[in-house]
Amino acid sequence: MLTTVVGSYPSHPQEPSSFSSKLSSLLGNYDPYQSAVESAVKDQVKSGVNLVSTGQVRGDMVEIFACEITGMAWEEETSKIKGKILPLNYSIGANDIKIALKTANQISGDFKAAEKVLINGEFNQAARGVKGIITGPTTLVLSSRMEGFYAVEKRDKAIIDLARALNREAKYLEKAGAALIQFDEPFLSTGMADMKTAYQAIKIAQNGLKVPLAMHVCGDVGQILDKLLKFPVDIIDCEFAGIRKNLEVLQNTDLGGKKIGFGCVDTKTERVESSEEIHTLLKEGMEIIGADNMLVDPDCGMRMLPREVAYQKLKNMTEAVGWLS
């Protein structure tokens, strides 16, 4: 089974220390987050993860996009929508994809740009690459304060406009070499989202993409899994370690050709699950949906965990998967 991460990883920016980095800083060319991306990728590759992320090191999942997208702003630690949302003529995350690919390839030559993750609808077990991650349009809008252009009761319009903007970003990530693109939509499990609008938004956001697509929805998906499986993506990613009753939902569920991102380590706790414990949960999943339908990952992002805890969780996860080979 292939392994991946949901997205974020606890790696932090570094101030310039060498002469060359200090000179770059004086010239305005130093990127304190490049080393954070490199460190996040190194940990993931060394732990045995097959499809790594950039670590989402430049902020939280909302902040990263609110700071950049036209019409949005990040003020007082809050995302705000202040004007008409428009696509960008540059990428927010493509350069980090390139940094991640270069870093991973230096450790293992198996990591390649735009590696085929799915072949004829089945996982390519030899795939090694970088996942592009985009916070979904519904989650971004519902996380934001509406100020000005869009009336509060017209959030759906903002969601659709944001989907168009994120579609361009997704294409930038694909061009940069992402092997898989994931839209993060945690708000879909809260009961606050209009599922019809969310579906339409993802349909717009994924339009024209050639790489496989995933959608991460954490939380209790008991009431919505059937709807999620109809979204125009290849993989629905959920948490099963922290919310065991999601396993029950999978029973007698027709996946309709979709794959399941199977969260198997709890990212809400610093307790490191043993490889044996993870192995047991994976076997439960295999008995319900089959190994061929599983992409193994943590429950959610790992940004809030101590780095050594995040690393050991990933290492135990990949070891548990290895026992099933």
pLDDT (tens digit per residue) in 55-114: 999 999 999 999 999 999 999 999 999 999 999 999 999 999 999 999 999 999 999 888
pLDDT of residue 152: 84
pLDDT of residue 26: 67
**Contact (Cβ atoms closer than 8 angstroms) between residue 87 and residue 48:** no
pLDDT of residue 30: 73
Return the CATH architecture of domain 19-323.
Answer: Alpha-Beta Barrel (3.20)
pLDDT digits (tens, 9 = 90+) for 148-188: 899 888 899 999 999 999 999 999 999 999 999 999 999 99
Which pTM was predicted? 0.95
The Cα–Cα gap between 303 and 309 comes to: 11
CA distances from 24 to 12, 17, 96, 100, 272 (A): 19, 11, 18, 21, 39
pLDDT of residue 114: 84
Residue 309 has pLDDT above 90, yes or no: yes
Nearest alpha carbon to residue 301 among 270, 261, 268, 279:
268
Residue 3 has pLDDT above 70, yes or no: yes
Nearest alpha carbon to residue 172 among 201, 209, 117, 202:
209
pLDDT of residue 15: 75
pLDDT of residue 148: 82
Write the DSSP assignment of 153-192 as a string of letters.
GGHHHHHHHHHHHHHHHHHHHHHHT-SEEEEE-GGGGTT-
The Cα–Cα gap between 30 and 60 comes to: 21
pLDDT digits (tens, 9 = 90+) for 240-289: 999 999 999 999 899 999 999 999 999 999 999 999 999 999 999 999 99
The Cα–Cα gap between 206 and 182 comes to: 10
pLDDT of residue 154: 86
pLDDT of residue 31: 86
Percent of the chain with pLDDT over 90: 90
Residue with tokens 């380590």: 265
Residue 17 has pLDDT above 70, yes or no: no
pLDDT of residue 22: 66
Residue 298: in which H helix or E strand, if any?
none
State how far Cα 143 lies from the chain centre: 17
pLDDT of residue 23: 64
**Six-digit token pair at 313?**
């969780």
State how far Cα 21 lies from the chain centre: 30
